[in-house]
Amino acid sequence: MTNLPTEPSTTDKIFIVLSHASYFYLPFIFPLIVYLVKKEESPVVAEAAREALNFHISWLAYLIVCCLLLLILIGLPLMIALGFFGLILSIVAIIKGIEGKSYRYPAIFRLI
């Protein structure tokens, strides 16, 4: 968790918060659209959208593993823990976005 190079504008903060809050709606689509639209205009927003998108991709990969582990009865508790973990991390990222700070999700694949 580092401070962003410049203080983001109010509009940038809105896009940052919405990118992280997309865990609750349009998990892949919204951060991808924000990243593609804002990457030239606002590197701060693009960084947050990219981080949120990587989080959603990683979360999906972990969910697929949990589905496979349902066969040996450990998948359901892991799915519940994964959902709770995702909820908490998204809320922390939203709070950091409101404060104007960047947030790096732990335990994710940074593919984009």
14-57 tens-digit pLDDT: 999 999 999 898 888 999 999 999 989 999 999 999 999 999 99
Is residue 108 in some structural domain? no
* Residue 71 DSSP label: G
Is residue 4 in some structural domain? no
Is residue 110 in some structural domain? no
Nearest to 59 by CA among 101, 103, 108: 108
| Structural domain span for residue 29 | 10-99
pLDDT tens digits, 45-90: 999 999 999 999 999 999 999 999 988 888 889 999 999 999 999 9
Is residue 39 in some structural domain? yes
Single-letter code of the amino acid located at 52: A
Yes or no: say if 7 and 44 are a contact pair by the CB < 8 Å rule: no
Total domains present in the chain? 1
Is residue 3 in some structural domain? no
Is residue 16 in some structural domain? yes
Helix H or strand E segment including 16: helix 10-21
Q: Which carries the bigger pLDDT value, residue 4 or residue 63?
A: 63
Q: pTM, whole model, 2 decimals? A: 0.86
What's residue 51's pLDDT?
A: 94
Is residue 37 in some structural domain? yes
Q: What is the mean pLDDT of residues 4-13?
A: 78
